[in-house]
Structure 1
């Protein structure tokens, strides 16, 4: 069966480049940004964004951490790096924003601190939000039916595409 691609490798690269510039514009005076990628694909996207941010603005310090959680039952959340997140800018990164539930749970560990900002980033955003999470940085927003699913393909540290099924 042929896949219905909504993003290819080149369009993903352009979307991530645009998002990186948006992040810089919205955080121009910040000295440090923490990218918190939701494993697995969100972590790959976060690493790509880190490279782009460093190439755009070399004096900004980017700290990249992973968020591990079971998306079906997201009660146990683990961070790959622990620090004091007080007064820090945190961007939670995922591949697809569906209902907003995963993003909402992923934010939970940071709420024990007083971060300066918590922002969200998704390569693809669906329009079916059941939870009050606004995606701050979006590569592509797609209207889908509830029966359709979006899959993001990753090979190593490269996002190769996204398709609708």
Structure 2
């Protein structure tokens, strides 16, 4: 395992991503920020807190629960009523985007409503897409082989990203 991001670097990336979101959503009074099951939830909560401290925007946090390995085997659920997304800007957050599968199914859940726009955020983008998903906000782009993967895991009481 090779360390690619330590806790401090992750915090810096999250701060930058939150400020990029504020800049790119200027004039939009209300945002919905959702985290995908796992670390996506943690990062979405952190981004929400930073935006609330640095912007007058109203921000609603939610989570999307899905089976990352087999997304069609169980229902994809949302922690708030998806009808609230109607006409709104929704931002979906995950820790690592690789093939785009998880992000694709998360976006499909959001698109069950007529939203104003959907933006995607990932801490690490591996660039090995099988689906036509692009990340609007990326903390770090990492070139890897198909056999490698990036995992954000707890280590010594903090989160760190590793190439394995």
Same fold (TM > 0.5): yes
Counterpart of 1:150?
150
Residue 153 of structure 1 and its aligned partner are, at CA, apart by 1.9
Equivalent position of 2:79 in the other structure? 80
Structure 1 unaligned runs (5+)? none
Would you say the 8 A contact 1:68–1:79 is kept in 2? yes
**Moved segments of 4+, more than 2 Å:** none
Let me know the Cα RMSD of the aligned residues: 1.4
Which residue is 2:61 aligned to? 64
- Please give the alpha-carbon distance, in whole angstroms, between the structure 2 residues aligned to 1:53 and 1:79: 21
Matches within 5 A, 1:30-49: 30-49=28-47
SS of corresponding position for 1:103:
helix
Q: Structure 2 unaligned runs (5+)?
A: none
TM-score, length basis structure 1: 0.92
Is this contact kept in 2: 1:45–1:159, CA < 8 A? no
Provide the C-alpha distance between the structure 1 equivalents of 2:77 and 2:13, rounded to a whole number of angstroms.
28
TM-score (norm 2): 0.93
- C-alpha offsets along residues 56-89 of structure 1, whole Å, 9 cap, x if unaligned? 11x2111011111001111220001114211111
Task: Tell me if structure 1 keeps the 8 A contact 2:3–2:161.
Answer: yes
Could you tell me whether the CA contact under 8 Å between 2:64 and 2:76 is conserved in 1? Answer: yes
Q: Distance in 2 between matches of 1:135 and 1:122?
A: 7
